[in-house]
Amino acid sequence: MEDLEKRLKELDPTRLPQHVAIIMDGNGRWARMRSRERSDGHAEGVNSVTRITRFSSDIGIKYLTLYAFSTENWNRPQAEVDMLMNLIGWTIRRETPDLVANNVKIHLLGETDRLPEDVQQSLYDGVKATAHCTGLNLQLCLSYSSRWEITRAVRELAEKAMRGEINPDRIDEHTVAESLSTRDIPDPDLLIRTGGEERVSNFLLWQIAYSELYFTPVLWPDFDNSVYLDALIDYQRRERRFGKTSDQVKAE
């Protein structure tokens, strides 16, 4: 703990990423390494969710987006899907009072109407209870995939064009960004993936165009504040050029 306090001083509070997005991977392997059920890995993963949410809020991150259940995850064995759904609903119900106390606002991204009704209800209750919060914005991606989101946006824009509400010639990057479910949220500055795989798996493909990517072999249940700090410190060492030259960036 003392070590963490010391290392926190390495972090420049004026250059924190405004938005951190995380692909939480490795729950299953964490369980298998301990000869336990995959469900134990997911349950342990929830502890990482609460820990990282709390720490993000404490250090002043404004947006945290978690890939909790992808569109492709519906293809997992039904028992695992059911278990994850129950876990998500139960966690939200349990954590909502704490989120309110910590001024954390929940947003939902994804095709949430595919979730079981009781889980939807818990999520909407959580969204409602935290609607007034002004601290950390916590985006939970549930039944989310980027291709689903972009396809939906294209369909909506096409329908608006057919109705004459927009001129196709006027569609620009801003129009597209405004049609995505992240319309009110700045693009991620930092995308972290745990669990050792180095891919983005259909997550925020439009929004991560200029994000810094950080891959760690640490499995999600083991992702503690110290590993998170490693990622944040690494992020602060990088030079973000957005297509410009290093000299231009330094001159700014």
Q: Which of left, alpha, beta for 198 (phi over 0: left; psi -120 to 50: alpha)? A: beta
Contact status: 68 vs ligand FPP (CB under 6 A): yes
Contact status: 140 vs ligand FPP (CB under 6 A): yes
Q: Which is nearer to ligand FPP, 137 or 179 (CB)?
A: 137
234 is catalytic: no
Contact status: 223 vs ligand FPP (CB under 6 A): no
> Whose CA is closest to 24, among 54, 1, 44?
44
Q: Looking at 25, 27, 189, 225, which residue is catalytic?
A: 25
Q: Looking at 73, 86, 102, 202, which residue is catalytic?
A: 73
Contact status: 115 vs ligand FPP (CB under 6 A): no
Residue 89: exposure state from Cβ atoms within 10 A (0-12, 13-18, ≥19): buried
Query: x/- binding map, residues 85-104, to ligand FPP, per CB under 6 A?
Result: --xx--xx------------
Q: Which is nearer to ligand FPP, 70 or 207 (CB)?
A: 70
Of 16, 21, 42, 229, the one binding ligand FPP by CB under 6 A: 42
Q: Among 14-22, 23-31, 203-211, 233-241, which window interacts with ligand FPP (CB under 6 A)?
A: 23-31
230 is catalytic: no
Contact status: 112 vs ligand FPP (CB under 6 A): no
Minimum Å distance from CB 236 to ligand FPP?
26
Site residues, ligand FPP (CB under 6 A)? 24-29, 42, 45-46, 49, 66, 68, 73, 84, 87-88, 91-92, 140, 195
> Catalytic amino acids?
25, 73
